[in-house]
Structure 1
Amino acid sequence: MERTDQERGGMNSSPVIDLSKAPGERAAWDQPTWKVYLWAICELLFVTNSWQISSALRISVLRAFGARIGEGVIFRPRTRVKFPWKLHVGDRSWIGEGVWFHNQDDVHVGHDVVISQETFVTAGSHAHRRDMALITRPVHIEDGAWVTSRCVVLGGARIGRNCVITPLSVVDGRAVPADEIWGGNPLAYVADRVLEGGRRP
């Protein structure tokens, strides 16, 4: 049985934001309605669809909707892209199965980057102290970085060149230094990234 406010120790006196008055999600669309809806259909058929196994076809469809994707990129099945016209991926990068780019703002992925399975990259949040209006900040994942499986990368994050983010980590809106390994929630330094031969990348 659900407890009442009084049983929880509250008096039901604190104000609550009326979500019916919150600025809408369309604030981030910046494209015609027909294009956003058409993309939703194409995403379902060609990008998110686990039966569609061709990385080349997936990339072709993303490019047709404005994504800037370099050469030699691998884009696995079950991926999601909110707005392809706000996605930038450099050459030879790998996008793992189930990665979700919830990119209400630009997401920049450098060359030779790995983003592993089920990682969630979001460029949006809400003004939770005011009116729950959408707030967006771009995300930058620099060349040679590896964001491992099931991480969350939040708006404003800048993951440095050759950085590694360990599994299940949350990267808040901060700059993570190059050539280092970081992980956890809250995010913390783990070690330098050292290649075979004892050198940093």
Structure 2
Amino acid sequence: MKETNQPGSVRVINLADAPGEKAAWDRPKAQVYLWAIVELLLVTNAWQISSALRIRALRLFGAEIGDGVIFRPRTRVKFPWKLHIGDRSWIGEGVWFHNQDHVFIGSDVVLSQETFLTTGSHAHRRDMALIVRPISIGDGAWVTSRCIVLGGSDVGSSALIQPGTTVQGIVPENTIWGSTDKPGPLGTRFN
């Protein structure tokens, strides 16, 4: 790993040497590129085409999606073969699954508008190698608008994530969780 260091300077990693490019694909290059085209035409675009058509395209590329799921426009899915969604869940407009590892969404889950789920990060101080960890969201949870859910997170059943929250780690079931609040049972008000 070539570093661009001067005496007394902070270590900087030469990104041209960073390992991990394409490490999370798990599929042939042709399939990944074909998915990118299908995603652009049927999933990511803003057209109000049927949710069923989006789901058929995702399933064709290996996504496991239960019955009665609603998949709104402008959604993005990096690797459909690493997406697992239970029955009757709602995926809001603009949700982005940057799923370099598996994402498990339970049944009756709501992921609201512009929520970003990312399973990947990098070994920042070492060599910028790709690090991936799965995400799990339990049955009945609601991740409200513009939240960020990081790899390794586990959102418990019937938890509610408040708007704009970054989730990292474990959210207990049946709690309201927010970036400025302490966790508490559903119905708890925070002052």
Aligned to 1:184: 179
The answer to whether structure 1 residue 72 and structure 2 residue 49 are counterparts is no
SS in 1 for 2:23: helix
Larger radius of gyration: 1
Aligned to 1:147: 143
Report the Cα offset of residue 52 of structure 1: 4.4
State the aligned residue count.
183
- CA deviations on 1:50-84 (whole Å, 9 max, x unpaired) are 11421000000000000000000000000000000
- CA deviations on 1:73-130 (whole Å, 9 max, x unpaired) are 0000000000000000000000000000000000000000000000000000000011
C-alpha separation in 2, matches of 1:105 and 1:141:
14
The answer to whether structure 1 residue 93 and structure 2 residue 86 are counterparts is no
SS in 2 for 1:121: strand
Give yes or no for contact 1:152–1:168 (8 Å, CA) kept in 2: yes
Q: Match of 1:192, as an amino acid?
A: P
C-alpha separation in 2, matches of 1:179 and 1:165:
10
Aligned to 2:33: 37
SS in 2 for 1:58: helix
Report the Cα offset of residue 189 of structure 1: 2.6
Give yes or no for contact 1:47–1:77 (8 Å, CA) kept in 2: yes
Instruction: Please tell me the root mean square deviation across aligned C-alpha atoms, in Å.
Output: 1.7
- Deviation >2 Å, runs of 4+: 188-191
C-alpha separation in 1, matches of 2:124 and 2:154:
23
- Structure-to-structure mapping, 1:1-201, within 5 angstroms: 13-172=9-168, 174-184=169-179, 188-194=181-187
TM-score of the superposition, structure 2-length normalised? 0.92
SS in 2 for 1:189: coil
C-alpha separation in 2, matches of 1:85 and 1:146:
23
C-alpha separation in 1, matches of 2:133 and 2:32:
20
Report the Cα offset of residue 180 of structure 1: 0.5
Gaps of 5+ in 1: 1-10, 196-201
Gaps of 5+ in 2: 1-6
Q: Match of 2:54, as an amino acid?
A: R
| Identical aligned residues as a percent | 67
C-alpha separation in 2, matches of 1:143 and 1:155:
18
Report the Cα offset of residue 193 of structure 1: 1.0
SS in 2 for 1:34: helix
Q: Match of 2:26, as an amino acid?
A: D
